[in-house]
Amino acid sequence: MTHSNYFYALKLPKEAKDHLQEKMSELKDKMSFKKWVHPEDFHITLAFLGKIEEEKLENSIQKMRRISTEHPRFSLRLTEMGIFGPPSSPRILWAGIDHSKKLYSLQRDVYRACEESGFRLDKKPFKPHITTARRYTGENSFNAASLRLPGDYTFTADQFTLYKTNMGMSPSYETIEDFTFHTME
Protein backbone atom coordinates (compact mmCIF):
# COMPACT_ATOMS: atom_id res chain seq x y z
CA MET A 1 0.00 0.00 0.00
CA THR A 2 1.38 3.42 -0.93
CA HIS A 3 1.11 6.32 1.44
CA SER A 4 -0.20 9.54 -0.03
CA ASN A 5 1.19 12.99 0.57
CA TYR A 6 -1.09 15.91 1.32
CA PHE A 7 -0.63 19.62 0.74
CA TYR A 8 -2.50 22.92 0.74
CA ALA A 9 -2.26 24.92 -2.48
CA LEU A 10 -3.76 27.86 -4.28
CA LYS A 11 -6.04 26.40 -6.93
CA LEU A 12 -5.78 27.99 -10.37
CA PRO A 13 -9.08 28.74 -12.15
CA LYS A 14 -9.77 26.72 -15.30
CA GLU A 15 -9.03 29.69 -17.60
CA ALA A 16 -5.56 30.14 -16.05
CA LYS A 17 -4.83 26.40 -16.37
CA ASP A 18 -5.92 26.50 -20.02
CA HIS A 19 -3.76 29.56 -20.72
CA LEU A 20 -0.71 27.97 -19.09
CA GLN A 21 -1.30 24.69 -20.91
CA GLU A 22 -1.38 26.54 -24.23
CA LYS A 23 1.98 28.18 -23.42
CA MET A 24 3.47 24.84 -22.31
CA SER A 25 2.32 23.18 -25.54
CA GLU A 26 4.39 25.76 -27.44
CA LEU A 27 7.45 24.93 -25.28
CA LYS A 28 7.15 21.12 -25.54
CA ASP A 29 8.47 21.21 -29.11
CA LYS A 30 11.52 23.22 -28.02
CA MET A 31 12.36 21.64 -24.64
CA SER A 32 12.79 18.03 -23.59
CA PHE A 33 11.54 17.20 -20.08
CA LYS A 34 10.77 13.74 -18.73
CA LYS A 35 7.38 14.78 -17.39
CA TRP A 36 5.11 17.65 -18.33
CA VAL A 37 2.62 18.41 -15.56
CA HIS A 38 -1.04 17.68 -16.34
CA PRO A 39 -2.93 21.01 -16.55
CA GLU A 40 -5.34 19.87 -13.81
CA ASP A 41 -2.32 19.62 -11.49
CA PHE A 42 -1.19 23.27 -11.92
CA HIS A 43 -1.19 24.96 -8.49
CA ILE A 44 0.86 27.13 -6.13
CA THR A 45 1.86 25.18 -3.01
CA LEU A 46 1.14 26.96 0.27
CA ALA A 47 2.15 24.21 2.74
CA PHE A 48 3.37 20.66 2.08
CA LEU A 49 2.18 18.31 4.82
CA GLY A 50 3.60 15.00 3.61
CA LYS A 51 2.07 11.88 5.12
CA ILE A 52 -0.61 12.77 7.59
CA GLU A 53 -2.29 11.76 10.81
CA GLU A 54 -6.08 12.09 10.59
CA GLU A 55 -6.45 14.08 13.81
CA LYS A 56 -3.87 16.69 12.74
CA LEU A 57 -5.42 16.88 9.27
CA GLU A 58 -8.95 17.42 10.62
CA ASN A 59 -7.66 20.11 12.97
CA SER A 60 -5.93 21.90 10.07
CA ILE A 61 -9.07 21.67 7.90
CA GLN A 62 -11.10 23.42 10.61
CA LYS A 63 -8.51 26.21 10.70
CA MET A 64 -8.52 26.52 6.88
CA ARG A 65 -12.30 26.97 6.82
CA ARG A 66 -11.84 29.98 9.09
CA ILE A 67 -8.81 31.32 7.17
CA SER A 68 -10.70 31.24 3.87
CA THR A 69 -13.34 33.59 5.30
CA GLU A 70 -10.63 36.03 6.42
CA HIS A 71 -9.03 36.43 2.98
CA PRO A 72 -10.54 38.17 -0.03
CA ARG A 73 -10.21 36.99 -3.60
CA PHE A 74 -7.20 38.60 -5.26
CA SER A 75 -5.56 38.95 -8.65
CA LEU A 76 -2.31 37.29 -9.69
CA ARG A 77 -0.32 37.85 -12.85
CA LEU A 78 1.75 35.20 -14.62
CA THR A 79 4.93 36.94 -15.69
CA GLU A 80 7.91 34.65 -16.13
CA MET A 81 9.37 31.20 -16.58
CA GLY A 82 12.20 29.87 -14.44
CA ILE A 83 14.03 26.76 -13.33
CA PHE A 84 15.15 25.02 -10.15
CA GLY A 85 18.28 22.91 -10.21
CA PRO A 86 21.48 23.01 -12.26
CA PRO A 87 21.27 25.62 -15.07
CA SER A 88 22.45 23.08 -17.67
CA SER A 89 20.02 20.32 -16.57
CA PRO A 90 17.17 21.68 -14.40
CA ARG A 91 14.97 19.52 -12.18
CA ILE A 92 11.94 21.81 -12.45
CA LEU A 93 10.54 24.20 -15.06
CA TRP A 94 8.09 26.66 -13.53
CA ALA A 95 5.84 29.61 -14.28
CA GLY A 96 6.17 32.55 -11.92
CA ILE A 97 3.89 35.34 -10.81
CA ASP A 98 4.26 38.98 -9.81
CA HIS A 99 4.85 39.54 -6.11
CA SER A 100 1.53 39.61 -4.25
CA LYS A 101 1.20 40.73 -0.63
CA LYS A 102 -2.18 38.98 -0.48
CA LEU A 103 -0.68 35.66 -1.59
CA TYR A 104 2.15 35.93 0.95
CA SER A 105 -0.35 36.79 3.68
CA LEU A 106 -2.47 33.73 2.78
CA GLN A 107 0.58 31.46 2.70
CA ARG A 108 1.74 32.73 6.10
CA ASP A 109 -1.70 32.06 7.65
CA VAL A 110 -1.98 28.57 6.08
CA TYR A 111 1.57 27.67 7.12
CA ARG A 112 1.03 28.87 10.70
CA ALA A 113 -2.27 26.97 10.99
CA CYS A 114 -0.57 23.77 9.80
CA GLU A 115 2.19 24.19 12.39
CA GLU A 116 -0.43 24.86 15.10
CA SER A 117 -2.11 21.61 14.04
CA GLY A 118 1.12 19.72 14.72
CA PHE A 119 2.66 19.44 11.25
CA ARG A 120 6.42 19.88 10.86
CA LEU A 121 6.87 21.90 7.68
CA ASP A 122 9.73 22.80 5.37
CA LYS A 123 11.49 25.96 6.59
CA LYS A 124 12.61 27.18 3.14
CA PRO A 125 11.36 30.67 2.22
CA PHE A 126 8.12 30.77 0.23
CA LYS A 127 8.86 30.99 -3.51
CA PRO A 128 5.46 30.99 -5.25
CA HIS A 129 5.56 29.14 -8.57
CA ILE A 130 3.58 26.74 -10.73
CA THR A 131 5.55 23.61 -11.65
CA THR A 132 5.03 22.89 -15.35
CA ALA A 133 7.65 20.20 -16.13
CA ARG A 134 10.16 17.95 -14.34
CA ARG A 135 13.63 16.55 -15.11
CA TYR A 136 15.24 18.03 -18.20
CA THR A 137 16.32 15.26 -20.61
CA GLY A 138 17.66 17.22 -23.57
CA GLU A 139 20.78 16.15 -25.49
CA ASN A 140 22.35 19.61 -25.11
CA SER A 141 22.64 21.83 -22.05
CA PHE A 142 19.42 23.60 -21.16
CA ASN A 143 19.12 27.05 -22.71
CA ALA A 144 17.65 29.42 -20.12
CA ALA A 145 17.51 32.18 -22.75
CA SER A 146 14.58 30.31 -24.33
CA LEU A 147 12.45 30.86 -21.21
CA ARG A 148 9.83 33.41 -22.07
CA LEU A 149 6.22 33.39 -21.06
CA PRO A 150 4.75 35.23 -24.03
CA GLY A 151 2.37 37.92 -22.85
CA ASP A 152 1.18 38.64 -19.34
CA TYR A 153 -1.87 36.86 -18.03
CA THR A 154 -3.90 37.94 -14.99
CA PHE A 155 -6.36 35.73 -13.13
CA THR A 156 -8.39 35.88 -9.94
CA ALA A 157 -7.46 33.56 -7.09
CA ASP A 158 -10.72 32.64 -5.41
CA GLN A 159 -9.90 29.47 -3.48
CA PHE A 160 -7.26 27.22 -2.07
CA THR A 161 -7.42 23.46 -1.75
CA LEU A 162 -6.30 20.48 0.30
CA TYR A 163 -4.84 18.02 -2.22
CA LYS A 164 -3.86 14.38 -1.92
CA THR A 165 -1.16 12.96 -4.20
CA ASN A 166 -2.02 9.81 -6.14
CA MET A 167 1.31 8.51 -7.46
CA GLY A 168 1.26 7.03 -10.93
CA MET A 169 -2.03 8.66 -11.91
CA SER A 170 -2.59 11.56 -14.29
CA PRO A 171 -3.75 14.00 -13.10
CA SER A 172 -1.88 13.17 -9.87
CA TYR A 173 -3.63 15.45 -7.40
CA GLU A 174 -7.03 14.71 -5.90
CA THR A 175 -9.07 17.50 -4.32
CA ILE A 176 -9.98 16.64 -0.73
CA GLU A 177 -11.60 19.99 0.11
CA ASP A 178 -11.79 23.45 -1.46
CA PHE A 179 -11.73 26.61 0.67
CA THR A 180 -13.33 29.58 -1.08
CA PHE A 181 -12.31 33.13 -0.20
CA HIS A 182 -14.92 35.70 0.72
CA THR A 183 -15.90 37.82 -2.27
CA MET A 184 -14.74 41.33 -1.31
CA GLU A 185 -11.43 42.39 -2.88
176 CB burial (10 A radius; 0-12, 13-18, 19+): middle
b vs e for 72-90, b when ≥16 Cβ sit within 10 Å of the residue's Cβ?
eebebebeebebeeeeeeb
Instruction: Please indicate whether residue 129 is annotated as part of the active site.
Output: yes
Instruction: Please indicate whether residue 19 is annotated as part of the active site.
Output: no
Catalytic residue among 19, 71, 129, 182: 129
Catalytic residue among 3, 19, 43, 71: 43
Cα–Cα distances in angstroms (integers) from residue 144 to residues 88, 90, 110, 127, 150, in the given order:
8, 10, 33, 19, 15
Alpha carbon 36 to chain centroid, angstroms: 14
Residues taking part in catalysis: 43, 129
